[in-house]
Amino acid sequence: MTVALRLSAEDVRLVRLALLYHLARPGAEFDASTGQLAEHGLTEVDAALAEREDAAASLELTDGQLRRLLEAMLGCVNELRVYHLNGGAASMVPRFNETARRSFPAIADDPEAALDVAESMLMLRRRLAQPGAGNERPSRAAEPPKRSRWPFRRQS
């Protein structure tokens, strides 16, 4: 099943930062069960968003891609918290600090602003994790109403 996402320009910058974090991890695009590259990983999502850094975007993600994106967002929130705690010191993730400072200039001057970016990332993650709120799932064919398991009612 695929999920349709509509992202504002700020959401695109947040997602790109999370994708940078995810793709910098060794083995991030491998399927844990098969040990092979995932059929649809986040590399193709990053390529689709590469030219849309300052514009709104619409994406179609598979459930696996959405799950990986949500995990990447949590890791990115953690990295932003560490950025704040270390006063903007170098990250272990290659190009993370440079990309974060370019995408969100406020954190270049004040590492405290990284917490605001982390909060925005977490709010976006929550929105994307909820079916139907902030994203659209294709409607399924009309399903028959479920029957109650216990058909006997107590009569008063």
Query: Under a CB-based contact definition with an 8 Å cutoff, are residues 58 and 50 in contact?
Result: no
H or E element, residue 61: strand 57-62
How confident is the model over 96-122, as pLDDT tens digits? 889 899 989 999 889 899 999 999 999
Query: Under a CB-based contact definition with an 8 Å cutoff, are residues 22 and 72 in contact?
Result: yes
pLDDT category at 23 given cuts 50, 70, 90 is confident
Query: If you ran DSSP here, which 8-state letter would residue 62 be given?
Result: E
pLDDT category at 124 given cuts 50, 70, 90 is very high
Give the pTM. 0.74
pLDDT category at 139 given cuts 50, 70, 90 is very low
